[in-house]
Structure 1
Amino acid sequence: MSEIKTINQLEALYPKPSPRAQNKVLPTLDRHAKTMVNHTHFVILSTCDALGFTDISPRGGVPGFVKVVDDSTILIPDSSGNNRLDSLRNIINNPKIGLMIMVNGIDEVIRIKGRASIHTDSEILAACPDGKKAPKVVIKVTIENLYFHCAKAIMRGKLWSGEYKVERSILPSLGQILKEQQSLDCKDIDQKEMVKYYKSTL
């Protein structure tokens, strides 16, 4: 296998990007990006841990759960999860983050780079509810650049069509997976019980 080790080797394999692709990066949200943020129900948050490894975390909510403050600022509530706090710890150590903004029915996505900070101010918490309640903290993102990513990946994966949807039964419940992975001596929690637990903690 031939390993690519230099930028020159890499670039030799690909045609140069078009001027339109090269020039599409924006410093702030425009009206189209704001429309995407205002309708998003699913965001992928990328942070970097203390060892330099990239960590990816999904964030979901009703459309509008991510709030536009101004052209350079958005707010993301930290919804209930597993309490590992990986992304939040990473932001404290390194505020540089990446975001992917997605909307069901739109194959283009928005990629954002910026700096994040964590806030507990009552006004910010109230402006960015986690469902029907205020979150413990809100992630404030100051945008440094963004652009619309073309639709090809979403189209290839047929993400919104449901064509590649599988039956949940191809995997045991997460409770059963963790029991096996960690050799736990505990009650077997089936998928029905897991869903009931999930819904009780949303």
Structure 2
Amino acid sequence: MPSTIRAFTLIFSLLCFLGTAFKSSSQNQPIKLSEEAQISVITFGPYQGELWSAFGHNGIRVFDPLLDMDWMYDWGRFDFEQTNFFWNFARGKMLYSMGRTQKYANIKSYYIKQNRSVKEQVLNLSQAENQAFFNSLEHNNLPKNRTYLYNYVYDNCATKIRDIIQEVVPTATLDLSFKVPKKSVRDLMDDYLSDQPWGDFII
């Protein structure tokens, strides 16, 4: 009887190990998007309730109905526990990181509750370009890659998206017709921080 119990225990342990190994292996397999996949740029309007939200926010939505996938990636995450958090924030030299949320609807609902606009621009990409874009997002979201030194103007949630588009579609051109002539960076900052004079002063 004891030998039977030991044999059963061994078989059970082996099955558990194989199940765990299979699950781990399947999780590490790269995801292949279907032909129905869409990649969009999501833009959330400014919010004056928080200084760090005054300029709005951007992210990338990956929607694939055949894979039951509706994810959002963004580069706007930070930790209040950082050393000299507010001083670094005022100087525009904070450590930010990328992140992924697996339910875009929750993110959208959060911003709508703040009475912020939500705009979606579906990118006109081929299936191969969609896959390359998604692969780049996943690569950038690896723990070793997701942290970066934020800059208000030159390295932020908007410029990161621009960089990936130019990486995936090198022939893409940017439409700069929206640019406001004769406005400095300070002028543009003032436009968004008019309701926050203290924030405007320290940034």
Higher strand content, 1 or 2: 1
Whose relative contact order is higher, 1 or 2, with alpha carbons under 8 Å and at least 6 apart?
Answer: 2
- Shorter-chain TM range is under 0.3
- Superposition TM-score, scaled by structure 1 size: 0.28
Q: Computing the radius of gyration over CA atoms, which structure comes out larger, 1 or 2?
A: 2
